[in-house]
Structure 1
């Protein structure tokens, strides 16, 4: 079986499109050699229960949980959806992820555009060859293609691509130490200040800004330390980001999507060019949003997440603002002027400003109905999966009895 798959693999669309061999030299990268009839039978049965793309997501989560180290992991689906909704890519835009991992952020961005009747152009790179491999398969299984560059591309050391991006969404290694300070400290990308040695947070932020088109926007995941650290040039860079109106907002993330680390994180929404509300920053706390369980996975309730997207979209005038989309319409969001931020030593942690908000009355009845619908849907999916497994096993038993 393994020999057959090794022969067939180079003929597949994904292998041809990305130049991917059937195996690599790493010890964990010879899956075909381990395949046997029992595994094939299991894959067939599981494949009958859900689409192959869903099975790949489960495997990516298992791999990430087992092998994640600190800031080195595959982005969970729930977080990828937040990236896409906050970036809100539009038809024809060039969407890039300079640390693409398994390709989930690119996939989420493409899905966001497609559900709104459009297509985007995708590109990405990653320093790990196996991550590029996973991204290529992930995108191909969902009918997508991206320019994934060369194997093992160190984005910060490689410099800027020839073509600017309209949207950049990325989840780089958190607090990355070896980012090339000695080689890159004189690089022209550090327009706001040379990032400090031993931490790449603001190297990534400035790389993104340098890679964006004049009206481009980006969503970047950083550790919470980047929001308040005064070490080295961090505080000065944050101040310059604000002075130039480059920070649209910051969304704090809960800890549950990242079980492999205790580092708290946040999404920074950046934008270049003139924009509304350029003298304020919009802060939100996604940890305050209700969640539900889908098997072993935890997810955000969809309705509050959509409201978060509407609030940020209206804030940037990407959509017509409504009264219910104002920042003060929910207790987990607040717009803050630069003067208040300056008095707080340019601290950009959402908790610093949201704790000053008075709780507002939420539409608890609506939230309750939404959660009830989600529970019923999950129960229906679970019952259907059990029925199909039972039917598959019964049919196999009947065949063997004959």
Structure 2
């Protein structure tokens, strides 16, 4: 959700304070390890707070004579009923076992090892440390919630964390404020979780960035596809960013004028139920992050663990929306073992680069009227290595390329490789307010869009995203669109064929001077080598001429 300016300022200040404080407590732990400690505590705090909010609501209802839940003033019955799981799950509230509740953990966080503590079941035991208490809390949640089996962090004791720093980290998470304007706890904690994912990706470098797609890029792809209802699929879902943003898209684009707050909430929740979510992730650590992220957002999802290209977790799925940011230019992905796979409709993808394996996999899983957004390196738009040019040409000739967006550099924490967005559609026929776009493709050159948010990373503003999405949607609808030299161009299949099926937007929008920046290494390097060899040959020829002249002058050594 895109919040007002004053709320954005609140988030920026909160982000700075939380990260600086958390980083000071990191000690000697690698960011990749520390990440799970911090995010585990954020998860625990969120589910506990949601549980306590529902508990307070129930208590009021149980004590209200006008309410159907009224218990007649029986204190023992009240205590018993407040622990009935069904009262929470009926409202989609995550059930939190008593020994995992934040209040119990905070009450015992400062107890010295060796002292006695009373557990929620009234038994007394010797306190062994906050780390043990947290491990037990996480285990209790997993035992009570099958969806989170083997997902949560239970390494607090094993890592031998400094007790004082762990206690201060608990205080830091406990201190996240919830009383700012119209923001809800879910908004704030969800933002904090997402913020920490991004910061840890940056701290970890290349490996951390493998699972994190910048929020603005995720938002742009979701805004381009408009996933209002249907099946949403991400074959390399990372921490679940596309799923979270799809839910936010529904919230953001629901009509605020039609409903009062309560009715709007019901309408938004009803629309969310029209979305079903499917995903797959090969990295077990990242798969755990996705499960936690989606539970925090109360998003029901079927997320498989495994290598999507080699072990397709949804062989029969046909999705209405497919969104993904697969690893760029993935080599040695095992393609030689599945050359006869039914997903390779256009040609067998190269075993040395998985870009067009991902693309054909996503197209295979696209419903007859489905749309997909795929992030790839710029090389995918022009490379002719092995079968890549053949596949790209076949997809263009099948009229499935709807829009190409060239992105600016420095958007990603893990790579400086220039990237682009492929928007593909199984059908460009007129439908749902969109005109007939058959035989047409929109090219957008966004390499100069955005701003440098620090010395290293570039980002998009809300206005940037709106401009790019609006350009695309105006073109789709046929209203308010016109070609803008240097920015956007609506091209025909004949235009693309004339450019030998190269899809670099700079070739079409009139920015030829920018084109080489976005071309693939495999294309540019041979051209540069050939030119260098020509220059070497010319240099040798001139050297021969000079030698002959020197001999003529009597210098014949």
Superposition TM-score, scaled by structure 2 size: 0.58
Aligned to 1:96: 233
Moved more, 250-259 or 101-110: 250-259
The aligned length equals: 348
Aligned to 1:282: 442
Q: What RMSD, in angstroms, separates the aligned Cα atoms of the two structures?
A: 2.9
Q: Distance in 2 between matches of 1:225 and 1:298?
A: 20
Structure 2: where are the runs of 5+ without partners? 1-129, 181-186, 255-270, 430-435, 513-557
Aligned counterpart for 1:158 among listed residues 311, 314, 323: 311
Aligned counterpart for 2:465 among listed residues 283, 305, 312: 305
**1:236 maps onto 2:390 in alignment:** yes
Cα distance, 1:350–1:295 mapped onto 2, change above 3 Å: closer
Check whether the contact 1:23–1:30 (CA below 8 A) recurs between aligned residues. Answer: no
Aligned to 1:83: 221
Aligned to 2:508: 353
Aligned to 1:377: none
Aligned to 2:206: 69
Moved more, 79-88 or 326-335: 326-335
**1:193 maps onto 2:347 in alignment:** yes
Check whether the contact 1:67–1:73 (CA below 8 A) recurs between aligned residues. Answer: no
TM superposition shift of 1:62: 2.0
SS in 2 for 1:216: strand
Aligned to 1:218: 372
Moved more, 65-74 or 81-90: 65-74
The higher radius of gyration belongs to 2
Moved more, 291-300 or 184-193: 291-300
Aligned to 2:325: 171
Aligned counterpart for 1:322 among listed residues 475, 479, 482: 479
Cα distance, 1:29–1:6 mapped onto 2, change above 3 Å: closer
Moved more, 299-308 or 259-268: 299-308
**1:37 maps onto 2:194 in alignment:** no
Q: Distance in 2 between matches of 1:315 and 1:30?
A: 56
CA offsets 1:91-150 (integer angstroms, 9 cap, x no match): 2x110111000111111112112323332211111000111111122222223221112x
Moved more, 116-125 or 46-55: 46-55
Q: Distance in 1 between matches of 2:456 and 2:138?
A: 31
TM superposition shift of 1:39: 1.5
Aligned counterpart for 1:127 among listed residues 258, 282, 293: 282
Check whether the contact 1:166–1:212 (CA below 8 A) recurs between aligned residues. Answer: yes
SS in 2 for 1:192: coil
Aligned to 2:136: 7
Check whether the contact 2:211–2:286 (CA below 8 A) recurs between aligned residues. Answer: no
Structure 1: where are the runs of 5+ without partners? 358-402
Aligned to 1:338: 493
Superposition TM-score, scaled by structure 1 size: 0.78
Check whether the contact 1:227–1:347 (CA below 8 A) recurs between aligned residues. Answer: yes
Cα distance, 1:21–1:242 mapped onto 2, change above 3 Å: closer
Cα distance, 1:316–1:15 mapped onto 2, change above 3 Å: farther
SS in 1 for 2:367: strand
Aligned to 1:207: 361
